[in-house]
Structure 1
Amino acid sequence: MGNLRQSVQKYTKIEYNEKTGLYKGRCPFCLGETETLMVDTDQDLYVCYGCGEMGNREKFLQKKEGVKIPIPDSAIPEILPIYKKAQQYYAFILKQDGNPGHKYLEARGISDKAIERFGLGFAPYGHRLYDFLKKCGFSDDLIFATKLCRKSVDSDEVYDFFRNRVMFPIYDGHDNVIAFGGRILQAEKKKTEDGKKAAPKYINSADSPLFSKRKILYGYPYKVPEGVKRANAIVICEGYMDLIAMKRTGLNDCAAVLGTALTEDHAKRIATDYKTVFLALDSDEAGTNAMISSINILREFGLNVFIMKYNTEVHPAKDADELITKYGRDAFISVLKKQTKADFFLARHAGDIKRFTDLLVKLDREGFEPKRA
């Protein structure tokens, strides 16, 4: 079936750059005029820095050709223990003396107690996870089915998909680890600024019958702690660190999107448990656009929507993590209490009266019936 480079070249021209070790070309998804697509054959990864589309060869084929290579349903009970063992392995590595991932988390204000609570870990270079899983008795077929370990497209060399990254396990509603997110270390990120091989700051496990970014919200409170009543409202933030920061304040009713816009599947899940949503996405342009889109989707499911305003004169911050780390829990609670109604937010950011009117007509049209959750 070929490799990632061959698959991409069927749809767009890409050329190899010896300096970066990457292939570069125009993105076949957003069809931009500039060369924003980067293809890394070593990591089986493509990224468009224009539209944000990214993934491995399987995802590329799924998006362009509808090809699906799923994990067989019959194998899921055998695969879940692999994710659990992988989480335990990553957590063990993080605890080793001098681990760079632990130093990074410590610098971000994450305590050992929080590391334990969220099951955080660290993925080292090489194929050490593969070696560990083999020693645990798992077969190659099952290990490769998880996509945590892979074979090079140009040889039979095995490598771990997550390397030199702080690891965030992602759980389902039954407390099973079903996927991971990985955050590259700053030291590795700086290498890309010197013209060497680029790498995304965050990557997630490949989509599977167990996991889909379009359906799963990180940290979603599927279960309510004993003796605690579920609130009527939930706070939706952007990313792992924001979610962890919020949970550390004592807020249980919060969750995070995983590198994608909020979807109808997310809204459907939220509407089963809550009546109101506080959107706490980043305060940059991308975050603003995401909030406008999210308001539309959430309202279609009959949810009330409010916006949390960061970057105020009193507590300037770009996101929840920075706000809480810099100014503490009280500052976060203050921002939460001073939320803005979605209509006011749309009016401020719609750009012109016509666009705002069109949005309101679409969102509040006469005879509107919310979708069933």
Structure 2
Amino acid sequence: MAYYSEELIEEIRMRNDIVDVISGYVKLKKRGSTYFGLCPFHNEKSPSFSVTPSKQMYYCFGCGAGGNVFTFIMEYENYSFPEAVKFLADRAGIHLPEIEYTEEAKKQSDLRNLVLEMNKEAAKYFFFQLRSKAGEQAIQYLKKRELSEDTIKQFGIGYANKYSNDLYQYMKKKGYSDQVLKESGLFNLDEKKGIYDKFWNRVIFPIMDVNNRVIGFGGRVMGEGMPKYLNSPETKVFDKSRNLYGLNIARISRKPNILICEGYMDVIALHQAGFNNAVASLGTAFTIGQSNLIKRYTQEVLLTYDNDEAGQKAALRAIPICKEAGLSVKVIQMHPYKDPDEFIKNLGAQAFQERIDNAKNSFLYEIGIIEKGYDLKDPEGKTKFFQEVAKKLLEFSEEIERNNYIESIASKYQIGFDNLRKLVNKYGAQLGEGFAPRERNTNDSKQQRKMKDGMKQSQKLLLTWLIEYPELYDKVKKYIRPKDYTEELYENVADLLYEQLDKNQLNPAQIISKFADDDQARDVAALFNAVLNEVETKEEKDKALKETICRIKQNSIQAASRSLDPTDIQGLQNLVEDKRILQELEKLHISFD
């Protein structure tokens, strides 16, 4: 990763006013000292996306997206941090120093850029071939598949003609050597035939990354030849497990979810029908890398795999992968048609939208697949089915969620809630003590979670108030130190914030730059945008301030007591001093004035 000094990063940030930058992407309206607009990161009808000039930060109260100007560009454009730095430096007219690479690193970087250049040239060549006399068969094939001219252009669809060295000859005339052509993935090497085109007599689908750079190709035969689809091999720029066909368009669709298909034609057919949030994996099974990539743009995926045994197996593999990435998953039923392309051709876009609206919960879909393996009319088969279902239900660690699914399944199969729950508990107990739900602890655990969430909110509030009312710092720092924030991230942020306030150099946007991880940057933004509801008068707000400070101090003391080693004399002395500070604090009047 490119390295630039903190001073340069801060100069670039300061020269790119966040309101000016985001206004280029989102229509903003000023309300008081803050600007609001529709969030570009999730689907909403009422503006909950705020941009605050004084903080040089954005935050969405709907989906929690937040950060500074760097994180906005990274999230919206899917840029890495160095790419966002370069983008904003260019925007501000700031010259970035040349990055010093090792000789090997420079060689690899140059090769990567060269492969991208060759791919772009090949895509143009294939696109031209489709419109030549040689491409008439391919044009007819695409028309038969009911693709419009606009769709063909949008996806850059092309044609590799029936001669197996045309592209090779074309690239040689462009000045590329055999050595670099071998790195492109566009050619095969044979001892007898030498170098020849990998793709010939196929319709060509350029594969683009999220930044619209051509990274590979897929080729489809127009008849019954095998393999039906042929994909580029892995290259310096093409990793099948970390890219998705159509994501360059789907990521900016602003739809509430992403549709995952099996093939290129399904994606194209869906986009043409108005479902421009469709993507497909690239000739491989769906991977965790792909699910993490999707997570950047949505919280929910809908699987639209083929309505056959292979499609069902693919869905069953994809469901746990998506859940592992924290995605909500539903499954769209294609019956009576094989795939989305065939479905839309026969029933149209409105019928497909109805299938989306009625998409099946992924867990219940899995139960439906399990059911097919048993004869529920046979008592023994029915028993075995319920035993497998009970084991499957143990996937839910949260009791309330598990009970909801037990209730749903028990109702559908008429087994009775208590009967199925007892069976689940039986198998849970066999896995280890404490796994089976124990009702007597439910209220305690809920109360503990509620208290923990309340404490996190108190700590967020205090950090927000310290940047909105920096004059509070002199009152607060005597009683609340960074170590009193018991969440690790909160303590790290408090360290940085207190350091700034000590120097009278408050700069919350700069603090976010210290956290390169996207999720952490988002969490930090949330710390600086906490809201206290149902507080209207000054007296109520002052009361809330004191109560918040006291709660944080009390929680800190309790946390220290739990972890204290009885032989730690210094720790005991610190604890006594903190208790004295709390007693003093409880007697004081603290206000925002």
Q: What is the TM-score normalised by the length of structure 2?
A: 0.45
SS in 1 for 2:345: helix
SS in 2 for 1:168: strand
**Partner residue in 2 for 1:262:** 286
> Distance in 1 between the 2:183 and 2:206 partners?
17
Answering whether residue 337 of structure 2 is matched by residue 317 of structure 1, we say: yes
Answering whether residue 229 of structure 2 is matched by residue 202 of structure 1, we say: yes
Answering whether residue 403 of structure 2 is matched by residue 365 of structure 1, we say: no
SS in 1 for 2:242: coil
Q: For residues 184-203 of structure 1, what are the structure 2 equivalents within 5 Å? A: 184-186=221-223, 189=225, 199-203=226-230
Identity of aligned residues (%): 35
- Which letter does structure 1 place at the counterpart of 2:367? A
* TM-aligned CA distance change 1:259 to 1:357, over 3 Å: farther
Between Structure 1 and Structure 2, which shows a larger proportion of helix residues?
2
> Distance in 1 between the 2:109 and 2:393 partners?
43
**Partner residue in 2 for 1:127:** 165
- Which residues of structure 2 form unaligned runs of 5+? 1-106, 374-384, 402-517, 520-593
The answer to whether the Cα contact below 8 Å between 1:118 and 1:169 also exists between their aligned partners in 2 is yes
Answering whether residue 100 of structure 2 is matched by residue 76 of structure 1, we say: no
Q: For residues 220-369 of structure 1, what are the structure 2 equivalents within 5 Å? A: 220-221=247-248, 230-311=254-335, 316-350=336-370, 351=373, 352-362=385-395, 364-366=396-398
Q: Which one of the candidate residues 122, 127, 132 is aligned to 1:96? A: 132
SS in 2 for 1:214: helix
Q: Which one of the candidate residues 184, 192, 196 is aligned to 1:155? A: 192
- Which letter does structure 1 place at the counterpart of 2:231? N
Q: Which one of the candidate residues 87, 96, 114 is aligned to 2:123? A: 87
Q: Per-residue deviation at 1:223?
A: 7.3
> Could you list the per-position Cα deviations for residues 20-69 of structure 1 after superposition, in whole angstroms to 9, with x for gaps in the alignment?
xxxxxxxxxxxxxxxxxxxxxxxxxxxxxxxxxxxxxxxxxxxxxxxxxx
Q: Per-residue deviation at 1:252?
A: 2.3
SS in 2 for 1:99: helix
* TM-aligned CA distance change 1:304 to 1:149, over 3 Å: same
* TM-aligned CA distance change 1:140 to 1:233, over 3 Å: same
> Distance in 2 between the 1:270 and 1:358 partners?
29
Q: What is the number of equivalent residue pairs in this alignment? A: 281
Alignment root-mean-square deviation, CA: 2.2
The answer to whether the Cα contact below 8 Å between 1:221 and 1:254 also exists between their aligned partners in 2 is no
SS in 1 for 2:394: helix
The answer to whether the Cα contact below 8 Å between 1:179 and 1:211 also exists between their aligned partners in 2 is yes
> Distance in 2 between the 1:347 and 1:244 partners?
31
> Could you list the per-position Cα deviations for residues 162-206 of structure 1 after superposition, in whole angstroms to 9, with x for gaps in the alignment?
1111100000122110000011121x52xxxxxxxxx31111100
> Distance in 1 between the 2:195 and 2:313 partners?
40
> Could you list the per-position Cα deviations for residues 334-373 of structure 1 after superposition, in whole angstroms to 9, with x for gaps in the alignment?
21112111122111102333444433323x23599xxx97
- Which letter does structure 2 place at the counterpart of 1:248? Q
> Could you list the per-position Cα deviations for residues 82-109 of structure 1 after superposition, in whole angstroms to 9, with x for gaps in the alignment?
1011011111111123622111111111
Q: Per-residue deviation at 1:262?
A: 1.2
> Distance in 2 between the 1:122 and 1:205 partners?
15
Answering whether residue 162 of structure 2 is matched by residue 142 of structure 1, we say: no
Between Structure 1 and Structure 2, which shows a larger proportion of strand residues?
1
Greater mean alpha carbon deviation, residues 341-350 or residues 213-222:
213-222
* TM-aligned CA distance change 1:259 to 1:150, over 3 Å: closer
Max radius of gyration: which structure?
2
- Which letter does structure 1 place at the counterpart of 2:394? V
**Partner residue in 2 for 1:212:** 239
Q: For residues 54-69 of structure 1, what are the structure 2 equivalents within 5 Å? A: none
- Which letter does structure 1 place at the counterpart of 2:114? E
Q: What is the TM-score normalised by the length of structure 1?
A: 0.71
> Distance in 2 between the 1:283 and 1:241 partners?
15
> Distance in 2 between the 1:247 and 1:222 partners?
9
**Partner residue in 1 for 2:43:** none
The answer to whether the Cα contact below 8 Å between 2:208 and 2:248 also exists between their aligned partners in 1 is no
SS in 1 for 2:391: helix
The answer to whether the Cα contact below 8 Å between 1:346 and 1:356 also exists between their aligned partners in 2 is no
- Which residues of structure 1 form unaligned runs of 5+? 1-70, 190-198
> Distance in 1 between the 2:309 and 2:270 partners?
22
Q: Per-residue deviation at 1:140?
A: 1.5
Answering whether residue 216 of structure 2 is matched by residue 173 of structure 1, we say: no
> Could you list the per-position Cα deviations for residues 280-324 of structure 1 after superposition, in whole angstroms to 9, with x for gaps in the alignment?
11110011011111111111122111110011xxxx211001011
SS in 2 for 1:105: helix
The answer to whether the Cα contact below 8 Å between 1:93 and 1:99 also exists between their aligned partners in 2 is no
